[in-house]
Amino acid sequence: MEIFSSEEHVCAEVRPLHIAEIDQSEQELPETANPLSISSYCKICGQQDFPGHNCTLVNIQQESKRTKTRRKKPLFVSLGLLLLILSACIAGAWFYIEKESNPTRVSEPFLNALKENDAKTLSKITVNSVTHTALTESEARTLSEHLKSSPDILNKVYRNIEKQEKALLKGSRTAPFIFEIKRLKEKKWKFIDQYEMVIHPVAFFVTADKEAKLFVNGNEVAAGEDGKMEVKNVLPGIFVLRAEKSNSFGSFETDQTITVWSSPADNFSLAFTDKYVTVSVPQVGMDLYVNEELYAEQVQEKEIKIGPLPEETELTIQGEIHYPWGSILSEEATARADDRVTLEFPDQENAVHNEIFESIFEFNQSYVNAITYLDSSYLQNVEDPKRSETIKTIEDLMRRNTVYRGRILNMVFDASAVTTTEENGQFFAEASVQENYSSAWMKADAAEEPESVKKSYYFIYKMRYSEEAQNWIVYQTIEKNSF
């Protein structure tokens, strides 16, 4: 067996490969070379041997490395391109996810629409948190106008939206003001956060008179039994509150404009400025008439208020005091809201005296007729014992066939001597009267009239007021020589 060195062995192994790759038909051999001679090729590298050919093991190794490098380069390039494409895809996907899950995707168009007063866009973006429906264009326009009229509030909205954006990106939350960037439970493709802009409606209470009707921005709101009215689930902004009521004197209205951006803790109050006429009453138990209609019966207070009254309403006021013997009306008074009036009555003593004196006069006139015609049916305003006494007088005249031929000239009443008293609900009176007559007596069948003589009589009349007869009734007379 022939033994080769390591260098020769490598070349011997390589040679057949190179010989196989040589196309001998394309080789140009020197004219002296013998194509069939194996010695025409290098024993080391397998290449054609020619003069000056220099082949060493180092050259062979370098050539081998260059060949391997040239073969590995396309693989590294392919892997690099693949990694580059994959990185680009990952980066693109990351930027897409970040953009899609960023709250500014909702807040930016919302803020732009708010700044440009774009009601149409606002209505599409903003959702009512109670109804879960988008705002109408009219609601969005009104809301935008209200915010524009309150620059401080609008700036506060801008700052709050910015705080919400930052908090959401950090995974936390900040208290919203009017609007909230709300993270939805549903995620896009199950891992991309989605948001919507919501507005939280407000609620507040308004107190007014129980009889009043309440209107909010022109719409009536139902009231509770205590007069408290709840306004709820309304969009924040500016509200015009109006309360209306009416009574027999007219209609009343009061209004107030309020701004509500968040539900307040305190109630709003719509108070009417009620105005009254104050009437001073001289005597309790009086009936009060307003515009000729009974307003209060048997008034027990010294002062009574009439109203409330509309500003320009004028009233006619009158009082009436009732006595068993008659009623006394006050003078009429006119008054407007906030006026004070005192009802003036005629002297009630004089009124009572007049009632008593009229009763006494009617009795005396009936007495004269009874003794003139000898007929007790003429008697008026008299009861026992005076009635029985008078009937006896008539009977005595009839027995004597005597009649009276006289008349009353006048009667003088002593007003200072008139007294009235009450006993167990019954009223009594005493009065002193001077009666002046043109007096004469004659036989009933006498042909000529007698001559009259002036006479004066002095009597104390005792009387009782009869509610049945609605008059003072004489029940006793005491004759005096004079007063």
Other residues' Cβ atoms within 10 Å of the Cβ of residue 29? 13
448's CB contacts (< 8 A; 6+ apart) are none
**In angstroms, rounded to a whole number, what is the distance separating the alpha carbons of residues 85 and 97?**
18
DSSP letter at 40 equals G
DSSP secondary structure letters along 407-422: EEEEEEE-GGG-EEEE
DSSP letter at 195 equals E
- Is 350-480 assigned to CATH 1.10.150.120? no
The boundaries of every CATH 3.10.450.240 domain in the chain are 350-480
pLDDT of res. 99: 56
Determine contact, residues 234/200, Cβ cutoff 8 Å: no
Amino acid sitting at position 182: K
pLDDT of res. 67: 54
pLDDT of res. 349: 73
**Phi, psi angle pair for 27, to nearest 5°:** -85, 140
Amino acid sitting at position 19: I
Determine contact, residues 459/478, Cβ cutoff 8 Å: yes
Output the CA–CA distances (angstroms, integers) from residue 228 to 43, 246, 247, 260, 480, in the order listed: 118, 18, 20, 18, 76
The answer to whether the bond into 109 is cis (omega within 30° of 0) is no
Assigned fold of 202-269? Immunoglobulin-like (2.60.40)
pLDDT of res. 61: 55
Output the CA–CA distances (angstroms, integers) from residue 119 to 103, 128, 158, 421, in the order listed: 21, 15, 17, 86
**In angstroms, rounded to a whole number, what is the distance separating the alpha carbons of residues 412 and 422?**
25
Structure-block tokens of residue 80: 């690099």
DSSP secondary structure letters along 62-103: HHHHHHHHHHHHHHHHHHHHHHHHHHHHHHHHHHHHHHHT-T
Nearest by Cα to 310 from 354, 270, 258, 251: 251
Structure-block tokens of residue 126: 């903003």
For 255, what's the count of Cα atoms within 13 Å in the CB-facing half-sphere?
9
The boundaries of every CATH 2.60.40 domain in the chain are 202-269
DSSP-derived 3-state class of residue 241: strand
Long-range CB contacts for residues 225-233, cutoff 8 Å, separation at least 24: 228/267, 229/205, 230/203, 230/204, 230/205, 231/203, 231/204, 231/205, 231/206, 232/201, 232/203, 233/130, 233/131, 233/201, 233/203
Amino acid sitting at position 392: K
Nearest by Cα to 217 from 190, 236, 195: 236
Nearest by Cα to 317 from 305, 331, 327: 331
Other residues' Cβ atoms within 10 Å of the Cβ of residue 22? 13
Structure-block tokens of residue 242: 């109006």
DSSP secondary structure letters along 299-333: E-SSEEEE----TT-EEEEEEEEEETTEEEEPPPE
**In angstroms, rounded to a whole number, what is the distance separating the alpha carbons of residues 40 and 319?**
159
Output the CA–CA distances (angstroms, integers) from residue 193 to 124, 132, 181, 190, in the order listed: 20, 19, 12, 8
For 70, what's the count of Cα atoms within 13 Å in the CB-facing half-sphere?
6
- Run of H or E residues at 111: helix 104-115
DSSP secondary structure letters along 42-60: -TTT-SBP-TT----HHHH
Residue-level pLDDT, tens digit, the chain, 483 residues: 333 343 443 333 334 434 334 344 444 444 444 444 444 666 666 666 666 656 555 455 555 555 555 555 567 777 777 777 776 666 555 555 555 557 888 889 999 999 999 999 999 999 999 999 999 999 999 999 999 999 999 999 999 999 998 998 888 889 999 999 988 777 766 657 788 999 999 999 998 888 888 899 998 888 776 778 888 899 999 999 999 999 889 899 999 999 999 999 889 998 888 899 999 988 788 899 999 999 999 888 889 999 999 988 999 999 998 876 668 888 999 999 899 999 988 776 777 888 899 999 999 999 999 999 999 999 999 999 999 999 999 999 999 999 999 999 999 998 888 988 888 888 999 999 999 999 999 998 888 889 999 999 999 999 999 988 889 999 999 999 887
pLDDT of res. 370: 95
Other residues' Cβ atoms within 10 Å of the Cβ of residue 193? 16
Q: Nearest 5°: CA angle at 323, between 319 and 327?
A: 45
List b or e across 57-68, with b for residues whose CB sees 16 or more CB atoms inside 10 angstroms: eeebeeeeeeee
| C-alpha dihedral, 80 to 83 to 88 to 91, nearest 10° | -140
**In angstroms, rounded to a whole number, what is the distance separating the alpha carbons of residues 324 and 466?**
8
